[in-house]
Amino acid sequence: MPQGNFQEFLTSNPKSKAAIIDNIFNLKKYDNIEIFLKKELDLTKFNREKLIFLDTEEKNRVSINKKKINELKEILSLIDIESLKKS
């Protein structure tokens, strides 16, 4: 920190101190990284929720299909019994 600026730093309010520190250490680039990472996190959360939803839908479809298969098997077994009776 340049010589005269240290006194300014000590006597400034917290917001001004933050600006001085940001300027000294070039912290703006970290703000941009933080913004980018937050967007990536939000997108990842959205995609995760979407996958959970799709997985649940698929499990429901499988369950329905299993029920239909069992119903059809039952019908087939009845048909076989009827055909045996006729023979």
**For residue 33, pLDDT beyond 80:** yes
- What is the model's pLDDT at position 40? 99
Q: What is the model's pLDDT at position 55? A: 98
Describe the chain by its helix, strand, coil percentages, rounded to 5: 90, 0, 10
Q: Over the stretch 2-28, which tens digit does the pLDDT of each residue have?
A: 666 788 888 899 999 988 888 888 888
CA 73: distance to chain centroid?
40
Q: Is the pLDDT confidence value at 45 over 90? A: yes
Q: Rounded to an integer, what distance in angstroms lies between the CA atom of residue 70 and that of residue 45?
A: 38
- CA atoms of 11 and 32, how far apart (whole Å): 29
Determine the pLDDT at residue 87: 63
CA distance 17 to 53: 47
Structure tokens at 23: 């300027």
Per the confidence metrics, is the pTM higher than 0.75?
no
